[in-house]
Structure 1
Amino acid sequence: MTQTSHQPPGTPDVLAPATLGPITLRNRVVKAATYEGMSRDSLVTQDLIDFHVRYAQGGVGMTTVAYCAVAPEGRTDRHQMLWRPEALPGLRKLTDAVHAEGAAVSAQIGHAGPVANPKSNRLPALSPSRHFHKTTLSFAKEASRADLERIVRNHADAAAMAVEAGFDCVEIHLGHNYLASSFLSPRVNHRKDEYGGSLENRFRFPREIVRAVREAVGDRIAVIAKLNMDDGVPGGFWLDEAIPVARLLESDGCLDALELTVGSSLLNPMYLFRGDAPLHEFAQIMPEPMKTGIKLVGKKVLHSYPYEDAYLLDQARQIRSAVDMPLILLGGITGRPSMDLAMKEGFQFVAMGRALLREPDLINRIRADADTPSLCIHCNKCFVTIYGGTRCVLVESPGRRTAAGKTPITG
């Protein structure tokens, strides 16, 4: 028998329909972007479609296709999804399949910047300033003004293609020290021109991206952004600057919601993933000399942080108190209690990642029984599986096909 939560009067029901800009979701739960590692030759595969269909069947309001790069040099791996006309038939097949299950679907668009893999892409990585990448053991070059102008156009073009491919929403990646986020970070951005120095200057490039995306799509689909509250490194972007950035984004009126996140894929990748750091598993999949390096100094790179439900709430509250625009709470949302807490605290949506990797049907089960607990143990071993198809290692894979040589969907 369906159970209801005990929320104060006027508090939204997280499992009831809700509007997000020009679209209506069947509930307020978003499957967060978790890089799938299931594209091939930068195109959709059946594995990628099946991955998102599982969450649609499992009851989420919207699922997010992760890390769709807007430019070839902006991929973290050369197989990562890349916006171009050849990708549209496969993306349309994906959106049609998700819609058939009653869910909406969002495309996360962005440029990896200094997090990109230049060896895999066979193209130089870009950064606000020249930066050494410890994982790839190579330097990212300083992006020129021409690069920045091109990448802003790339974002607009990607958003327009997302509309053509049937997406309901695009999520602009302004987090994790990807390119836009790295411009915000004083730790990474040492420029002396109008894109560096003051917060206004460091925000210039992300702001240009957001404005260009909204202009490209109008009100045809929703536009949200994933914004860092804290890079998790000394000298990085932090809450005292995230608050005024959120206010500026609100004043521009280009976004329908902000999803709040933390961490740096470049400098502190585990800061977002509270719980265990999978050092042994990570070392096993890396080639030498990285394998030996992780075994020797991995604890200095992959830190462990204690887990608790709704672990980003304290920081997110400060953004909530500063702006009126809709906000999406991420981080340790695992069951009805944390979902209801988010609603009570004034957040309009919640985003779930690892809990849904563990149980794609968790939302349906919570709808049937509000006391349903999440089975995720926050071991973070899913973090390592992104290189071969993201999954929870504690459950049997449901027939993955993605492997070297498998055919992507092009038409």
Structure 2
Amino acid sequence: MNEVFAPAKLGPITLRNRVIKAATFEGRTPDALVTDELIAFHREVAAGGVGMTTVAYCAVAPGGRTDRHQIWMRPEAVAGLRKLTDAVHAEGAAASAQLGHAGPVANAASNRVPALAPSPLFSPLGMRPMKVPDESEIRELVTAHADAAKLAEQSGFDAVEIHFGHNYLTSAFLSPLLNRRKDGYGGSLANRARLAREIARAVNDAVGGRLAVTAKVNMEDGRRGGITVPEALQVASWLEADGTLDAIELTAGSSLLNPMLLFHGDAPRRSFAKTLPGPARWGFRLIGRAFLKEYPYHEAYLLERARQFRRELSMPLILLGGITNMDTMRLAMAEGFDFVAMGRALLREPDLLHRIRSDASTQSACVHCNECMPTIYTRTRCVYRPELPYEPVALPMPAARTT
């Protein structure tokens, strides 16, 4: 218990414990800017005891969002993000900004710009072909990640998490199913991994040594033809050798093709269908069972895959997936993982960490129904948690970042 709740180094910063609030898009930015409600969301999690909370999703370009209401990193966003990080710091936690480009998962219709994909694809969200970036446009995307990281630093974040998972843009480049390019960014695994390595290098050059730089990396896509564990392990080994990351958070699944591999538990098909417009709702009835597959929930459900990475890599690793109680956290530490990441359990009980620290036998109230998934289109929340009235609070002066 002491190891889980003891201070721990993550690159150049020190967290008060080894528990990280995983990125879960909050749906609280209607104008693509921070709101008081978003600040309250992260302040509540920070007050609940996590070592660091992750703000999702901070896109590196306006077309890199899954919805136009998401934040994209630009100077106009800094003031609100600074208020958010100040609030998190006031509760003793650190703050991380998840940076990335949604690529083929972006909603072209909502964003009003084409979605990007490594190779020609049709966008089911935008109902139009996706744009394939050329090498000069890829270089602009790499620069956009570095610029976003600099804005995150100006905003008071302690860390940035680069999104290399779930078949978002960089993950799509890694996938042999989605990347059929013939240039230097396609074909061999080394070429498909080039974008990830260039982005990690650019972000590290921009803020490394001052901010912790982590990446969320797919262990497998969960779709035939996608990236597999052996290939993903090789990519992680290259990232480790490059020395551009302070930690890797291991994940799995595809927001484009197989999202439930990440979540496990019940597949909320009915609730998800209700979020779609009429024609799409009928189409979802035809493909919903294939798209939202069902994987039985058990604690630490990604551990078996993650062990292979822990055996081969020496760099810090963050275990994600089914972390809800003290026994599982202790298991993660015993297996050699440096941090654990929690998501849905904290939507149900933001103060879960404080209660586990007070009583190690505490069990999460999360029932793994995944009904929180469809709420991302309104306000991400646990449907079993009573809605609390929100009252704005006066925010403190900026708190110093831990070092």
Fold shared per TM-score above 0.5: yes
Q: Which residue matches 2:21?
A: 31
2:377 to 387, 392, 396: 387
SS of the residue corresponding to residue 308 of structure 1 reads: coil
* Residue 192, structure 1, aligned to residue 151, structure 2: no
The partner residue of 1:332 within 304, 322, 331 is: 322
**2:205 aligns to what SS in structure 1?**
helix
In the alignment, which residue of structure 1 is the partner of 2:240?
250
1:305 & 1:64 partners in 2: Cα distance? 25
Aligned mates of 1:296, 1:373 — CA distance in 2? 37
Counterpart check, 1:268 vs 2:264: no
Counterpart residue number, 1:408: none
**Within the alignment, does 1:181 sit opposite 2:171 as a pair?**
yes
Match of 1:368 among 350, 354, 358: 358
Deviation at 1:72, TM superposition (A): 1.0
Contact 1:274 1:307 in 2 (8 A): yes
The range that moved more, 238-247 or 290-299, is 290-299
2:312 corresponds to 1:311: no
Structure 1 Cα separation of the partners of residues 35 and 239 of structure 2: 35
Compute the displacement of 1:139 (Å). 2.0
Is 1:90 equivalent to 2:87 in the alignment?
A: no
Contact 1:133/1:266, CA 8 A, preserved across alignment: no
What CA deviation, in whole Å up to 9, does each residue of 1:327-380 have, x standing for no partner? 000000010011000000000000000111110000000000000001100000
Structure 1 unaligned residues grouped into runs of 5+: 6-11, 402-411
Question: 1:113: which partner in 2?
Answer: 103
- Match status 1:280 vs 2:267: no
Alignment of 1:5-404 (within 5 A): 5=1, 13-399=3-389
Q: Counterpart of 1:406?
A: none
TM-superposed CA distance for 1:398, in Å, is 2.3
- Deviation per residue, 1:36-59 (Å, 9 max, x gap): 111122110111101100110000
Give the letter for the 1:21 counterpart. G
CA deviations on 1:307-329 (whole Å, 9 max, x unpaired) are 10000000000000111000000
The one-letter code of the counterpart of 2:6 is A
Residues of 2 paired with 1:250 and 1:340: CA distance? 25
Q: Give the whole-Å Cα distance in 2 for the aligned partners of 1:134 and 1:240.
A: 30
Provide the C-alpha distance between the structure 2 equivalents of 1:234 and 1:273, rounded to a whole number of angstroms.
19
Contact 2:108 2:125 in 1 (8 A): no
Runs of 4+ in 1 over 6 A off after TM superposition: none
Distance apart, 1:147 and its partner CA: 1.5
In the aligned structure 2, how far is the partner of 1:398 from the partner of 1:126? Answer: 39
The equivalent residue for 2:394 is none
For residue 171 of structure 1, give the secondary structure of its aligned residue in structure 2.
strand
The CA RMSD measured in Å over matched residues stands at 1.2
Cα distance in structure 2, aligned partners of 1:364 and 1:375: 14
Q: Secondary structure at the match of 1:260?
A: strand
Do the aligned partners of residues 357 and 246 (structure 1) sit closer, same or farther apart at CA in structure 2, a change above 3 Å counting? Answer: same
Identity of aligned residues (%): 62
Cα separation, 2, equivalents of 1:220 and 1:397: 38
- CA–CA distance in 2 between the matches of 1:90 and 1:142? 33
Whole-Å separation in 1 of the counterparts to 2:286 and 2:120: 27
Question: What amino acid sits opposite 1:344 in the alignment?
Answer: A
Measured against aligned partners, the alpha-carbon deviations of 1:240-263 in whole angstroms (never above 9, x if no partner) come to 101111111111111100000000
Contact map agreement 2:115 2:123 (CA 8 A) in 1: no
Report deviation, 1:400: 5.6
| Whole-angstrom distance in 2 between the partners of 1:234 and 1:398 | 43
Distance in 2 (CA, whole Å) between partners of 1:350 and 1:364 is 15
Residue 270 of structure 1, CA deviation: 1.4
| Count of residues in correspondence between the two structures | 392
Amino acid at match of 2:384: L
User: Structure 2 CA distance, aligned partners of 1:264 and 1:270?
Assistant: 8
Residue 398 of structure 2 is matched in structure 1 by none
1:280-333 CA distances to partner (integer Å, 9 max, x unpaired)?
111111101111122233111111111100000000000001110000000000
Whole-Å separation in 2 of the counterparts to 1:400 and 1:132: 41
**Contact preservation (8 Å) 2:26, 2:380:** yes
What SS class does the counterpart of residue 286 from structure 1 fall into?
Answer: coil
Q: Distance in 2 between matches of 1:325 and 1:219?
A: 16
Contact preservation (8 Å) 1:14, 1:339? yes
> Residue 198 of structure 1: CA displacement?
0.3
